[in-house]
Amino acid sequence: MTLAQRSELVKQIAYRHGFFFCGISKAGFLEEEAPRLESWLLDQKNGTMSWMENHFDKRLDPTLLVPGAKSVVSVALNYFQPEKQHDPEAPKLSMYAFGRDYHKVIKKKLKQMMADVQDEIGHVEGRAFVDSAPVMDKAWAKKAGIGWMGKNTNIISKKAGSYFFLAELIIDLELAEDQSTKDYCGSCTRCLDACPTDALYAPYELDATKCISYLTIELRERIPEEFKGKLENWAYGCDICQEVCPWNRLSTPNRISDFNPKNELLNMTKGEWEELTSEVFDDLFQGSAVKRTKFEGLSRNILFLK
């Protein structure tokens, strides 16, 4: 089997397990990202996410994370779904949060994918990653040609927009590298213009401490009063910079049943959200990524929106 044939087989296995993009990069030091990451951290744009300062070298070099690694196999899983919450005044959840926790869904798929790679190619060592270790998903997705880094700092695909999750297999199997793609943002600044908190303070630059997703999910402290009236009714995450992106007109509904929104969530009124109890929270968000913020955190966010 040639290098190209082996690489194509890995991609076919990825598609078989529901990933709708797969690209390959040579495992090695991310020279372009190193100064950007260092500067971003020094400017404290990561806010209270101190974990991003840990394992700096491993974050930039997967061969330190997975000894003997030769390839980074980047995959993307579509989560776009067009259904909206029925009450336009209800506190809003980011689209990805309506279904089952993507960490669990993707990790299972990656394990199955790895098993198939070993069955069909031979003994392969490596690890699967879904936000579970210091891996720079976007940098690897960009190198693998899945898309370009948009001005909103999301990876954007010319074929499908940006409503997809990223994950990786870092393995000791040598594969043919894919080429990165061109940046197609052009002169568009819709994402920067639409961001209500000015988190996107310049093209390709994000101040996480001002991002609504950070404020409603990662921040454990009280939301600063300076953001009062600026969250545009987002209670968990935010999709504004994706909603206004012209490339997302190409988004198509996902085919993953685990990502289907619960009708109970879609039907909840503003009043029901404001009267949410811990028992209802546990029932509604069983197996959901929203559990990350806990009942206390989501209640804090809903109260802040009043």
Assigned token pair, 249: 């007109």
Catalytic residue among 61, 87, 116, 131: 131
User: What is the C-alpha separation between 218 and 27, in angstroms, rounded?
Assistant: 30
User: What is the C-alpha separation between 105 and 99, in angstroms, rounded?
Assistant: 10
The residues near 149 (Cβ < 8 Å, ≥ 6 apart) are 138, 142, 155, 156, 183, 204
Q: Which H/E stretch holds residue 195? A: none
User: What is the C-alpha separation between 224 and 215, in angstroms, rounded?
Assistant: 9
114-150 per-residue burial string, b: 16 or more CB within 10 A, e: under 16: bebbeeebeebebbbbbeebbbbbbbbbbbbbbbbbb
Pick the closest to residue 193 from 241, 130, 260, 131 (CA basis).
Answer: 241
The residues near 265 (Cβ < 8 Å, ≥ 6 apart) are 85, 93, 98, 284
Residue with tokens 């994000």: 206
Assigned token pair, 59: 């974050």
Residue type, 83: E
119 is catalytic: no
How many angstroms separate the Cα of 180 from the Cα of each of 10, 111, 143, 144, 288? 18, 26, 5, 6, 33
Q: How many CB atoms lie within 10 A of CB 273?
A: 22
Known catalytic residues?
A: 131
